[in-house]
Structure 1
Amino acid sequence: MRSPLPDDPACHGALDRADHLRGDPAALAARWSRARVLLLDESGNALADADGALFVPTGEQVSEGPGGVGASIFLGLAADDTAWFALDAALTALDAPNRLDLRSAAAQWPAFDAGVFAQARALQHWRSRHRHCGICGAGLAFSRGGWLGRCEGCGVEHYPRTDPAVIVAVTDGTRLLLGRQASWPARRYSVLAGFVEPGETLEQTVAREVLEETGVRVRGCRYLGSQPWPFPGQLMLGFIAVAEPDEPRVDDELEDARWFDADQVRAAGTSDDGDLQLSAPLSISRWLVDQWLSMIEHGVPDRDKPGGGAR
């Protein structure tokens, strides 16, 4: 039967997460020697070689095995069936000349390397901040390839968490609504975003956040795409929304919010002297701006969706 939908590359990640291997320590140990091991320092930076590329030794070069229960994190399998792990750099004698943070890596590295780094960084952050049970206070013992923390006191299981947040390009039909925070670089503006609250639909979150931050009333919205944002563990759900042409006002979160026409948006970021600077191309916020421009010019969004863990 022919599929009613076209193939969508956004449905595929850098690695096969291989959940069936997480509960099999013997299988993971058997793959260790030929595996690639991504090393992270205590600040969450990845070790990089002299050229700034990802330093990723084999498991055999790192240690005799993946370590005790929970020492390493099993990330998944590459297309060539090579296993990938993450490990705190302090647990190995290996070192590399450089360290690279995730945002820098996303702008410089191939999508595969940046995506694996993003996955490893998000899991490292979760584990470093969830060492004790939130119910009884006892310590957690990590298993299932590092993806499960089981309380050593009450036995409750803890899993990595992802916080959903909406990010939305708001238009009144001809203009785009952008806001800026006081801490951002001069003239930097972006689309609006906010966390989903308990009991809300995503659409309700879009309308609430836009109203709270700018006073602009949303009439309707449509989902376009998503992007993991491991700073430290959000999933950004991208929307385009149609709103009333209300005059924006700002709350405590924003320093300014205003409408921009298509010519102003097209010219953004081309000069330091310009009135408008946008986010870097690697971000879903910039991708949503580009989708709005595509709709203004062609009536339909671009089919290419944002990808890569650090975008």
Structure 2
Amino acid sequence: MIGFTGGTLDRADRERDDPQAFAAALAHPDARLLRLRALEPEVDDAGALVWDSLDTLPAGVAPLFLGYDAGVPRFVAAIDSDGSPTSRSPTLMGALAAMPGGDAAIYAAARSLTDWHRRHRFCANCGTPTEPFRAGWARRCPSCAAQHFPRTDPVVIMLAEHEGRVLLGRQPSWAPGRYSALAGFVEVGESLEDAVRREVLEEAGVAVGAVRYVASQPWPFPSQLMLACIGEALDDAITLDTHELEHAFWATREEVAGALARVESARFDAPPAYAIAHSLLAHWASSS
């Protein structure tokens, strides 16, 4: 299963505009609040998310309604912030590696929603401080009545394939030996296919022809939709943009399989299992 997918949460959109339903969810005796420290989750010994009673919600903090899980209302607290970036700690990366799939999907929604609120406290139309509404799934300006909704930024992540090999690259900030698929934001007025071709050409100087879509993944850092694709490279000559990549090379199926299996002699270190780059490499390695 691709990381952050396959969740069982009923998001209950039907109740977001119903104040009585929202009040009933808040008053439900089993209602639970996700335990976060900043934007990072606390987990139990099994790696699962930890939930508290709504009584632990700080005074004056808005509860954001995530939905129902097995009939139990689930909430996360809105976090007030100046909008400064929140980094991903090694502790979080370790927690995600061990977290059950369903919990990871809930965490992805909770983190992205909470982070959107902390970064969008002011109206983009007139600059007035906004207020949460729709059970936390929107913000409304009391001055100009503009409504603002959580956004998701589309990102293409792709393998360029050429004669049984795929193009992998690394950024200098990554852990030593880590290589992954190339990736980049989809620009306005651009199709996924065109974004794949542009990004591979910009970053590695490799022209791509046909592009096929494979799968998608929510990526809550802060709120992206990763769109995994495979493109047919028209040649294998690499010309790096060193502002984007430190190094790139063409990997064989055997090299990719070894990296995914984390064999000691692997040519490179593969992305973590919860990243769609890992799933994309596994998909390609197992195909003929």
TM-score category (smaller protein): 0.7 to 0.9
2:7–2:103 Cα contact (<8 Å) kept: no
Q: Counterpart of 1:6? A: none
Does structure 2 conserve the Cα–Cα contact (< 8 Å) formed by 1:220 and 1:242? yes
1:11, 1:51 → 2: CA distance?
Answer: 19
Q: Deviations over 1:25-48 (max 9, x none)?
A: 221222223222113223x01233
8 A contact 1:102–1:114 mirrored in 2: no
Report the alpha carbon displacement of residue 82 of structure 1 after superposing the two structures with TM.
1.5
- Partner Cα distance (2:246, 2:90) in 1: 31
| Range moving further from structure 2, 207-216 or 237-246 | 237-246
Check conservation: 2:157, 2:227, Cα contact below 8 A: yes
TM-score, length of structure 1 as denominator length: 0.81
- Residue aligning to 2:13: 19
CA contact (8 A) 2:64 2:78 kept: no
Distance verdict in 2 for CA 1:148–1:101, change over 3 Å: farther
Deviation string 1:111-136 (CA, Å, 9 cap, x unpaired) is 11111111111011100010111221
Overall identity of the aligned pairs, in %: 43
Question: Counterpart of 2:187?
Answer: 197
Quote how far apart the aligned CAs of 1:100 are.
9.3
Which stretches of structure 1, 4 residues or more, deviate above 6 A after TM superposition? none
> Deviation digits for residues 263-282 of structure 1, max 9, x if unmatched?
22222263566431110111
How far apart, CA to CA, are the structure 1 residues paired with 2:107 and 2:126? 32
Match of 1:58 in 2: 53
Question: Does the alignment pair 1:186 with 2:176?
Answer: yes
1:293 aligns with 2:288: no
How far apart are 1:11 and its partner, in Å? Answer: 8.8
Which ranges of structure 1 fall in alignment gaps of 5 or more residues?
A: 1-9, 91-98, 297-311
Equivalenced residues, count: 273
Give 1:246 shift: 2.3
What are the equivalent positions in structure 2 for 1:111-126 lying under 5 Å apart? 111-126=101-116
Is residue 77 from structure 1 mapped to residue 73 from structure 2 by the alignment? no
Amino acid at match of 2:41: A
Contact 1:40 1:88 in 2 (8 A): no
Distance 1:11 1:282 in 2: 10
Once residues 79 and 191 of structure 2 are traced to their aligned partners in structure 1, the CA distance between those partners, rounded to angstroms, is: 41
* SS of residue matched to 1:104: helix
Distance 1:11 1:71 in 2: 26
**Is the contact made by 2:178 and 2:270 (CA closer than 8 Å) also made in structure 1?**
yes
Number of the residue aligned with 1:47: 42
| Residue in structure 2 matched with residue 264 of structure 1 by the alignment | 255
Counterparts of 1:230-245 in structure 2, within 5 Å, are: 230-245=220-235
